Structure 1
Amino acid sequence: MCADLAEAVNEPIAIDPVDEVLSYHAGDIRAAILTLLKDCVHLREQLALMEASMSRGMTRGWRPAFERP
């Protein structure tokens, strides 16, 4: 009994990220998409700030890409 409980506690619980987002928004798909789009805008702004503030030598020539290759 205790061994089964210990195994159950140590096993990672597989959580679907899509289900997690929908659960956070109480099943409202439009609200979930809006939040994800706002997150994308925020991260792009942060990436632009980082690109403007760092030198090319600091990253040995690497530049961030805003679009997926």
Structure 2
Amino acid sequence: MLAKQDAYTAKTDAVDDAMAWHGGDARATIDALLQDRVKLLEELAMAKACMSRGYTRGWMPGREFD
């Protein structure tokens, strides 16, 4: 039970930190997270294009959370 509370606290702290970074503006926080997501998907696409199947032994990075 304590581990579950610690995980919840860590997630809550991350949300609180993100909100504080943007001055408590939820809209700005969400906008920044969505922009970061787009950037990460671009980087993932580039990594996928540069990696060979032999190097990864058949595994290729993908968008698992769409």
Judge same fold: TM > 0.5, yes or no: yes
Q: TM-score, normalised by structure 2?
A: 0.78
Q: Secondary structure at the match of 2:60?
A: coil
Displacement after TM superposition at 1:68 (Å):
2.3
Read off the aligned partner of 2:51 and give its amino acid letter: M
Q: After the TM superposition, which segments of 4 or more aligned residues of structure 1 sit over 4 Å from their partners? A: none
The structure that is helix-richer by fraction is 2
Q: Tell me how many residue pairs correspond in the alignment.
A: 56
Matches within 5 A, 1:10-49: 16-49=13-46
1:15-59 deviation per Cα after TM superposition (whole angstroms, max 9, x unaligned): 700000000000000000000000000000000000001100000
Q: Which amino acid aligns with 2:57?
A: R
Aligned equivalents of 2:31, 2:64: Cα separation in 1:
20
Give 2:58's match in structure 1, choosing from 57, 61, 69.
Answer: 61
> How many Å apart are 1:65 and its aligned residue?
1.5
Q: Identity, % of aligned pairs?
A: 52
- Aligned Cα root-mean-square deviation (Å): 1.6
- Distance in structure 2 (CA, Å) of the matches to 1:68 and 1:33: 17
Give the TM-score taking structure 1 as reference length.
0.74
